[in-house]
């Protein structure tokens, strides 16, 4: 079996999905979950692109130990210097340097000749290799580049010190046969190609990102770049879970394996979906809610007789089973053990808060599952790191079918005060949002609202994702609590608190 490295770019290319913006605490939580999932390399961001990205790459590089952490960089010494500052403390510092190589990009975007592009790529890789033990170089838009030029520049950057060469299908243009053919061509024609690992990075504009990545593997690719749930620029990137499971289920064909811990897949997918607000379609392969549902009578009959009639992947393999774990009477130690099993090392204070949240839920919910505990633990982390401007002190909603809904809300403010208001609305959520808007005193337009349950049962936790527009800026918010109306209010406040934090940071920066 060949070993295929999984390079996850959820926090870089995935975060480039329209409308997605993660804060530091959320990025750290995703990075830790990716580490638990067993990815080999985490691309944590683009350090030179903003102070926020620099901070998050640096923090992730310091907290993640079992995966290698990398950051993106243009072929600029200044970018490489910033990346080194962010990554130098990581377990295995690596950098991902890229420059475009297609005629379209070189002429219209870079406005450089091919010779100039070779020169800047070579000098950047040399400069990076003086600092980083592992330098990866990417030929942006490789798949629409001239083959001879690609062979030439790859040879030169390998001589300059690159150890991984990434071949992106940046605009998702190629078919699987063509992508595999490009990889084969490079293996046959770049004289020093055996000194490096070849990596695939495919986009999904024509729905072929996973197929192209697998075709790359059939033709000698040893690393695949992908994202959880396939999120990413435009139509997204190749989906990590689909590639890993395809290699596993069809190992007879691919003769390749990864380090992915399959039973962490569902949890990782749910976390990324919740924090990015990008809901997983029910029919999505591997992680969609219907991926293991059998509807037609004939299929159900077959499943009852013999599961393999219609099931090639078991839900258990990818972590779909709901384990009933703890109950009302479970103690602090049992809770802490469960938290450890889920990968959370809690300090005294965190344990106290999380255990209280667990007890509150256990009073109201009959069966507590792994998913519930995971939701409590992650919510707890976000609350601890947030220092929000507004917090709900009390929420009361009056609704009956014959009258207009009314919400009365009091909020605690970060300066220790309390603000209160009451407004009406055409439904309970509308009344809550009108009341919050009136208290906060900003024009807030709700652009999107999604409600999902975590697990099954009428007492399940509710997850709400919202997108709001505040002064022309679109921002996401999320919350997971048992009551649907409370989750709605908290998700909205979560978005508002983010805007307030960004504004406060800007003020500090301009002072």
Q: Which is nearer to ligand KIV, 205 or 311 (CB)?
A: 205
* Per-residue buried b or exposed e for 112-144, using 16+ beta carbons within 10 Å of the residue's own CB: bebeebbebbbebbebbbeebebbbbbbbbbbb
Minimum CB separation from ligand KIV for residue 283, in Å?
26
- Cβ atoms 132, 89 nearer than 8 A: no
CA–CA–CA angle 31, 39, 210 (5° rounding): 110
Among ligand KIV, Zn ion, none, the one that 140 touches (CB under a kind-dependent 5 to 8 A) is ligand KIV
The residue of the chain with the least Cβ separation from Zn ion equals: 13
Query: In the chain, count of helices (H) and strands (E)?
Result: 17, 18
Q: Which is nearer to Zn ion, 168 or 388 (CB)?
A: 168
The residue behind tokens 């190589």 is: 101
Minimum CB separation from ligand KIV for residue 169, in Å?
8
Binding mask 6-45 for Zn ion (x = CB under 5 A): -------x--------------------------------
Is 67 exposed, middle or buried (CB count within 10 Å of its CB: 0-12, 13-18, 19+)?
A: buried
Q: Which is nearer to Zn ion, 216 or 388 (CB)?
A: 216
**Cα(27)–Cα(385) distance, integer angstroms:** 12
Among ligand KIV, Zn ion, none, the one that 388 touches (CB under a kind-dependent 5 to 8 A) is none
Among ligand KIV, Zn ion, none, the one that 230 touches (CB under a kind-dependent 5 to 8 A) is none
Q: Please tell me what DSSP assigns to residue 442.
A: S
3-state SS, residue 10? coil
Contacting residues toward ligand KIV, per CB under 6 A: 13, 98, 138, 140, 166, 168, 170, 201, 203
Among ligand KIV, Zn ion, none, the one that 58 touches (CB under a kind-dependent 5 to 8 A) is none
**Cα(500)–Cα(471) distance, integer angstroms:** 12
Minimum CB separation from ligand KIV for residue 6, in Å?
16
**Cα(183)–Cα(174) distance, integer angstroms:** 12
Among ligand KIV, Zn ion, none, the one that 264 touches (CB under a kind-dependent 5 to 8 A) is none
**Cα(298)–Cα(110) distance, integer angstroms:** 58
Minimum CB separation from ligand KIV for residue 232, in Å?
8
Cβ neighbours of residue 182 closer than 8 Å, sequence gap 6 or more: 142, 143, 147, 167, 174
Q: Which is nearer to ligand KIV, 166 or 270 (CB)?
A: 166
**Cα(386)–Cα(403) distance, integer angstroms:** 37
3-state secondary structure 489-502: HHHHHHHHHHHHHH
Q: Which is nearer to Zn ion, 229 or 369 (CB)?
A: 229
Minimum CB separation from ligand KIV for residue 168, in Å?
3
Among Zn ion, ligand KIV, none, the one that 138 touches (CB under a kind-dependent 5 to 8 A) is ligand KIV
Minimum CB separation from ligand KIV for residue 100, in Å?
8
Q: Please tell me what DSSP assigns to residue 313.
A: S
Q: Which is nearer to Zn ion, 237 or 435 (CB)?
A: 237
Q: Which is nearer to Zn ion, 272 or 362 (CB)?
A: 272
Minimum CB separation from Zn ion for residue 203, in Å?
6
Minimum CB separation from ligand KIV for residue 53, in Å?
14
Q: Which of 105, 104, 41, 42 is nearest to 75 (CA)?
A: 105
Among Zn ion, ligand KIV, none, the one that 434 touches (CB under a kind-dependent 5 to 8 A) is none
Minimum CB separation from ligand KIV for residue 34, in Å?
17
Pairing assessment for the beta strands 164-169 and 134-140 based on DSSP bridges: parallel
Q: How many CB atoms lie within 10 A of CB 442?
A: 13
Q: Which is nearer to ligand KIV, 228 or 495 (CB)?
A: 228
At residue 238, φ and ψ (nearest 5 deg) are -65, 140
Q: Which is nearer to ligand KIV, 211 or 368 (CB)?
A: 211
Residues forming the site for Zn ion (CB under 5 A): 13
């Amino acid at each position: 079996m060949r070993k295929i490295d999984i390079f996850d770019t959820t926090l870089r290319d995935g975060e480039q999905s329209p409308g997605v913006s993660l804060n530091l605490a959320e990025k750290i939580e995703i990075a830790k979950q990716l580490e638990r999932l067993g990815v080999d390399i985490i691309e944590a961001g683009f350090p030179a692109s903003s102070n926020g990205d620099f901070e998050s790459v640096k923090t992730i590089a310091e907290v993640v130990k079992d995966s290698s952490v990398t950051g993106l960089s243009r072929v600029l010494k200044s970018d490489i210097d910033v990346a080194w500052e962010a990554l130098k403390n990581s377990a295995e510092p690596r950098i991902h340097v890229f420059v475009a190589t297609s005629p379209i990009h070189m002429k219209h975007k870079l406005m450089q000749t091919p010779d100039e592009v070779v020169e800047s790529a070579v000098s950047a890789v040399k400069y990076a290799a003086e600092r980083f033990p592992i330098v990866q170089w990417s030929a942006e838009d490789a798949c629409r580049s001239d083959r001879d030029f690609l062979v030439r520049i790859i040879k030169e950057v390998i001589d300059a010190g690159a150890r991984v060469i990434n071949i992106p299908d940046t605009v998702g243009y190629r078919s699987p046969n063509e992508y595999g053919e490009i990889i084969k061509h490079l293996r046959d024609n770049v004289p020093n190609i055996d000194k490096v690992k070849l990596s695939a990075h495919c986009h999904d504009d024509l729905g072929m990102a996973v197929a192209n990545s697998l075709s790359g593997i059939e033709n000698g690719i040893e690393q695949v770049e992908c994202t959880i749930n396939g999120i990413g620029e435009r139509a997204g990137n190749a989906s990590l879970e689909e590639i890993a499971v395809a290699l596993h289920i069809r190992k007879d064909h691919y003769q390749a394996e990864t380090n992915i811990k399959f039973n962490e897949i569902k949890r990782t997918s749910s976390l990324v979906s919740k924090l990015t607000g990008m809901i997983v379609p029910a029919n999505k392969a591997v992680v969609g809610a219907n991926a293991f549902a059998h509807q037609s009578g004939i299929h159900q009959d077959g499943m009852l007789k013999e599961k393999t009639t219609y099931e090639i992947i078991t839900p258990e393999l990818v972590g779909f089973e709901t384990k009933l774990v703890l109950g009302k009477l479970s103690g602090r130690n049992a809770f802490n053990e469960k938290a450890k099993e889920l990968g959370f090392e809690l300090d005294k204070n965190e344990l106290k808060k999380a255990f209280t949240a667990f007890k509150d839920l256990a009073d109201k919910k009959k069966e507590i599952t792994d998913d519930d505990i995971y939701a409590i633990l992650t919510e707890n982390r976000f609350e601890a790191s947030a220092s929000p401007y507004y917090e709900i002190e009390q929420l009361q909603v009056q609704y009956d079918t014959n009258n207009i809904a009314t919400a009365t809300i009091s909020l605690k403010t970060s300066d220790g005060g309390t603000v209160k208001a009451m407004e009406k609305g055409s439904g309970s959520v509308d009344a809550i949002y009108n009341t919050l808007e009136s208290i906060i005193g900003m024009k807030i337009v709700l652009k999107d609202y999604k409600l999902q349950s975590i697990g099954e049962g009428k007492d399940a936790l509710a997850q709400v994702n919202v997108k709001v527009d505040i002064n022309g800026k679109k921002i996401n918010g999320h919350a997971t609590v048992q009551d649907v109306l409370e989750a709605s209010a908290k998700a909205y406040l979560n978005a508002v608190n983010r805007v307030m934090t960004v504004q406060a940071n800007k003020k500090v920066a301009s002072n």
